[in-house]
Amino acid sequence: METPYFLNPFGVSQKQEEYDEMPIGSIVMWNNTITQSLKNFVPGTTITLREDNGLREFLVVAHDYPSANNNRTLLIRKYAHSSRAWGTSSSGNAYANNSIDTWLNNDYYMLLDSDIRHNIAEVSIPYTIGNGNTSVSTINRSIFLLSATELNFTGYNAEGSVLQIYPSLRIAQNDAGIASDQWTRSPAIANTTYAVKVTSAGAVTTALITSAAYARPAFTLPSTFQFLGNQL
């Protein structure tokens, strides 16, 4: 059985009931187990963080993301969050400040525990500008979607590098466990009204930016964050 990990506000994990009763700033051990850094967890490990006053599962995706030696670890929500439009007809398929980018870095960001927010940092991710501009540039974001490239889909602009655990990321399930379409941050190249999404079967396609697919938030935390393994 895969072992999830929990995180308290100061980077030391606890069972949920212990977490709720723990004095702020406590230094704890559980069953005499030594804490370990996030960087020691292999990609694909499940950890559990607080979101919207509850516990949600996230996957460790990659270390030193998005560039070598930056000491940050990429996490992604294990289950897709909610179904929503990628953009609006007025914004075209420009990713920066579109509907989903704005939601991720405002509404969703505020759903995370305040101490998680404190440790999330903006990282510079490659993206296609979009809306008629097919150039690849970089944008600083705290929370973002993965690119088609990172999921090892070709035929679109190269935005970053293929992630080691991409096969396990291609099929997104929602919180009910139902496989669902998920958006990437990659716009279509041939027009200004479509963006790249991954179907519930794990295939790549493009869809109207005003149509609905699931958002799967990704962000980074310091690789030095300390966790303690606890079984559900």
Does residue 100 surpass a pLDDT of 70?
yes
Nearest to 127 by CA among 166, 185, 184, 61: 185
Q: Do 161 and 151 contact (CB within 8 A), yes or no?
A: no
Residues 209, 158 contacting (CB under 8 angstroms): no
Q: What is the pLDDT of residues 16-50, one digit of tens each?
A: 444 444 333 223 344 455 677 898 899 999 998 99
Tokens of 42: 């292999």
Predicted confidence (pLDDT) per residue in 70-82, tens digit: 999 999 999 999 9
pLDDT tier at 14, thresholds 50, 70, 90? very low
What does the pLDDT average to over 170-175?
97
**The pLDDT value given to residue 172:** 98
Burial of residue 58 (number of CB atoms within 10 Å: 0-12, 13-18, 19+) = buried
String of b and e for 10-21 (b: at least 16 CB within 10 Å)?
A: ebbbbeeeebee
